[in-house]
A and B are shown apart, each in its own frame.
Chain A
Amino acid sequence: MTIKNKAYITSTALICCSGTNEADLFHNICTKNSFIKTDANYFNNTPAALGKIDSENNFFDDLILKCEELLLKSNLTNFKETLLIVGSSVGGIAITEDIYFTNGDYKKINPNYHNINTIQTLLEKKFTFLDGLSFSTACTSSANALGYAHEVISKGIYKNVLVLGIDQLSQTTVGGFLSLGVLSSKPCKPFDINREGMNVSEAIAAILIQSEPTKNSVELCGVGYSSDAYHMTHPHPDGLGAKSAMEKALQQANITSDDIDYINAHGTGTQANDSAEANAIESLFGNKPFVSSTKSITGHTLGAAGAVEAIICKLIINNQTIPTNTNLAMQENVNINLTMENIKQKIDYTISNSFAFGGNNCSLIFGKVK
């Protein structure tokens, strides 16, 4: 791809279980303060550790509020010259669940508030965008949305892109991951030898990407995509697809693995993901950059994960601080550099991984603006 323009993350807004804004979230990550809680009543009397947002607002009201917050922080007065890219794995499913479980039939379901496009529909009630589309690739949804934002800005097609990573807790996702046997009843322990699974969580993460840098912006330097072509729910055990995505991101960013200071892992806390990902990291990063998974604090926000973790990478670069792992007692793979404390050091480049059902992989590289 010929790059005409660079792409910068200039403004963000976020809400998740462990932070109603970015600063609070980063503080909680660095102080190991997780708000993931075990809930035995959410799904079928089976205990599951979940990351529910603590807000007095309805989830979709928070969506609008966060976009308004972002707009205020940004150099835009409206989104009329902005492309909207939503990344969500379940869209409006929780709305459908409410109606269907109450009534037992589909009659009162509005198709416009069921599928992925629900998010754009709700946003367009309040904001006008230049155009909009939604990516839905399970847990890489908003990572892919960010990747596309990078592409359309790099190719000089758009100057402003609003990426919205969003997924709401639902019976479908909690029950679904429970059915696969990958949900933990306790807060997750990514990369730990005794890890028991993931925590489903919800989040709204709004990111403005523009062709010009602003104060505190970070550059989205490179994106790498790959497909495992292996299994719907298991990654290739050697992490081949993950490695390929990271390699391609490095290529596009025009840097080498030695230039990466920190890896924000997908690190869900499941047996399969963490071992495959650790293998991929071990095989690619001979320099052993620091690695952590922030999902022990945010939980796995599914389609929103890519965007949530992009915001975390921006905070890492802005603060020049690598965040610690939480709940990690004994690492399974001793050949990767999982940090047990916060580290203040010079950080130029971070890489953030997202891997999804269907073997869909996306790695994003963020860099300090030179």
Chain B
Amino acid sequence: MISNTELKEILIQYLNLEDIEANEIDDNDPLFGDEGLGLDSVDSIELVLAIEKEYGVKITDSTQYDTIFATVSSLLNYINDNKK
């Protein structure tokens, strides 16, 4: 099981987020769109690559991105459910 802090560190690293600590990213804030962290579609591809590299979890269906990447919690749950 990976922790939410660990996942947030991965987000910061792979998405080159600046001036932000893991503890400043809320588990339930939206990751995408201007209301949340402000990530975009290129970030979703980078995340797919990061998650495969770090956790061996593949996300092959791009129509699922919206659900899986909605918040840190939803992403965490997906990874923990699918990690071998």
Contacts and interface: CB of A to CB of B under 8 A. Distances in A.
Interface in A156-188: 179-181
Contacts of A231: 40
A233 interface: yes
Interface string B4-43: 0000000000000000000000000000000000001110
A181 B62 contact: yes
Contacts of B41: 234
Nearest to B49: A179
A319 B42 CA distance: 43
A231 B41 CA distance: 11
Interface SS of chain B: helix, strand, loop or mixed? helix
Nearest to B46: A179
B45 interface: yes
A179 B45 contact: yes
Interface in A175-226: 179-181
Contacts, number: 9
A181 B40 CA distance: 14
Contacts of B45: 179-181
Nearest to A234: B41
Contacts of B40: 231
Contacts of A233: 42
Interface residues of A, number: 7
Contacts of A180: 42, 45
Interface in B31-73: 40-42, 45, 62
A176 to B, nearest CB: 12
Contacts of B62: 181
A97 B42 CA distance: 25
A319 to B, nearest CB: 41
Nearest to B44: A181
A233 B40 CA distance: 11
A355 B46 CA distance: 24
B22 to A, nearest CB: 27
Nearest to B41: A234
Interface in A298-352: none
A233 B45 CA distance: 13
Contacts of A179: 45
A184 B62 CA distance: 15
A271 to B, nearest CB: 11
A276 to B, nearest CB: 14
Nearest to B48: A181
Interface in A217-267: 231-234
A181 B48 CA distance: 12
A234 B62 CA distance: 17
A95 B59 CA distance: 34
A232 B42 CA distance: 10
A231 B42 CA distance: 10
Best-buried of A180, A181, A232 by chain B (most CB within 10 Å):
A181
A47 to B, nearest CB: 15
A16 to B, nearest CB: 29
Contacts of B42: 180, 232-233
B59 to A, nearest CB: 12
Nearest to A232: B42
9 contacts: A179-B45, A180-B42, A180-B45, A181-B45, A181-B62, A231-B40, A232-B42, A233-B42, A234-B41
Interface of B: 40-42, 45, 62
- The 4 A-B pairs at the shortest CB distance, nearest first, are namely A181-B45, A181-B62, A233-B42, A179-B45
Given A180-B42, A181-B45, A181-B62, 6 more contacts: A179-B45, A180-B45, A231-B40, A232-B42, A233-B42, A234-B41
